[in-house]
Structure 1
Amino acid sequence: FHFPEDFFKVKTKYLEYLIARKEKLAYNLIRNSFHSTAQPVKIITEIIVPAIQSAHGIFDDGKIGKSELNFLEKIISNSIQIINLGNFEVDMKKNVIMISSDYRSTLFSEAASASFHADGWQVYSLGDMSSSIDVLFDLDLQKFLTKVWKSRMGIMIIVIFSSTDESMKFFVESINSIKAKSRRNLYLAVCGDMKKNSEMKADLIEEDIESVLQWSQTTFESSIL
């Protein structure tokens, strides 16, 4: 394959291997693409994210059951880790915490984590946090924030992924209460396939990972001026 012009071919091939449950071929394709391109983020945005959407789509259409969906999700998750384990130079001033507010959004938060990591961010990926929906969550997250962002160097962005309004609302409110007590340079971004909720208070509300990444980079650059 020749990148960037062959991303579409790889996307089609990867989806074909995924749906046919050809696990090894899917991993080899991602591995080869990773070693052949200077744009690892594009592997996530052009190949992995469409695959997550397709897997969820065929499940929603009743073409596959939960067992098969779980298996496909595992293949996608392992594919993401191939990028995630890449050796990228990290800027300690660029910090991000990824939270999925429900199980369905977990792969998107994993994909975003790998994108940010490939773009030189220090990433703390918390996965599916839906079991943490309780009154103590903001204290719990505040404690974690204090540990990982002790120096308060640079900026910290908390990105929430959600496919349901309810769980998103809870996490947005919790994080806003932390932001209210915090000094500057703590930001909240929300990523989900929902109508823009006008009541939701966040620094960014977006539907796709690439936009969140671009906004984060711009926010970082303007914060160090």
Structure 2
Amino acid sequence: MKTPSLRIATYNLQKCVGMDLRRNPRRSLEVLEDTGALICVLQEADKRLPPRPAALPHDMVTAEKWQILQFGAPGGSIGWHGNAMLMRPGTIHVVETDQIDLPGFEPRGAIRADLDTPIGPLRVIGVHLGLVPRSRRQQCAALRRMLERLPPRPTIIAGDFNEWGSGADLNAELAPLRFLPCPPSYPAIRPIAALDRFWISADLSAGPVRPHLAQPARIASDHLPVTVELTAQQR
């Protein structure tokens, strides 16, 4: 019997503005479809200035059969601090969602969704960490403290970590979660930096992290989406 698996993608949409300087949310949705992911963790999913209208319009998202997870009051944004999460309805069910305030020099936040999935219970945290190294360390420490307060649940943290180096400092702050080796995903046309990353808990197994290279991904944003296949650790 084949072990159930779940594909997750993380993707910085750059507000759906591509390398050709055109805002094209339909093109961004095409990229998400092509990843084959059941859960997509997004960054820069809305515009920066209040009231932060969605760069990826609600009606266009739902027309493509995605469910938008709710992380705040219904309105213009589809997420929180630009972080959003989409999933394919049917085999995944939402247990709880929450917003997470993060410390640091810039205003930053994260999102959390506790889900029931084909591989069992799963906690998915979406992040877009700060540009300042000290802020990134503080933000990872804040995420670790939050997880220590919550009931245990298999966990993946996904997003744009803005980390150009090895990530060793962040790894230390996020322990006991472990960093998955991730390929370069930025800039999309010729990737040299692994900014888009995953951390997972010990009760999960993961296949190799893969960049999604097929067009229009190389032009739809300045980041490539990256995907990973998760399975639950056999007891």
Scaled by the length of structure 1, the TM-score of the pair is: 0.38
Which structure dedicates a bigger proportion of its chain to helix? 1
Between 1 and 2, higher relative CO (CA 8 Å, sep ≥ 6) is seen in 2
